[in-house]
Amino acid sequence: MAESAVDLLLTTLRLRGDIDAADLRRRWAALNVAGLAALTEYEGCVLWLYSRLRDLRILQAAPPAFASWLTTCEWMRRVTPS
């Protein structure tokens, strides 16, 4: 069964002490991220997700195009008022 992007997003963003970073890394590496950029923008959690993936040292495990999108300021221009 394919990993649910929503479930993985919620698991990643959940603040608790029992996070298994190795399991998250494996799950992010296998994730189909179709629609995830739009969802994170809509929910306003792009920066939080970026920070969380970076802090857990699993950002590099995310699919390359999604990780690249997270590390650019392109999304910041869309979510920051002028």
Q: pTM above 0.85?
A: no
Q: What is the pLDDT of residue 1?
A: 35
Tokens representing 44 are 């306003």
> Which residues neighbour 56 within 8 Å (Cβ) at sequence distance 6 or greater?
12, 19, 21, 24
Q: Decide if pLDDT at 81 tops 70.
A: no
- Give the position of tokens 């479930």: 7
Q: Are 9 and 36 in contact (CB under 8 A)?
A: yes
- pLDDT, tens digit, for every residue of 16-60? 778 899 999 999 999 999 999 999 989 999 999 999 999 999 999
- pLDDT, tens digit, for every residue of 50-61? 999 999 999 999
Sequence spans of domains, the chain = 5-79
How far from chain centre, in Å, is Cα 42?
13
CA dist 3 to 11, 32, 54, Å? 12, 8, 21
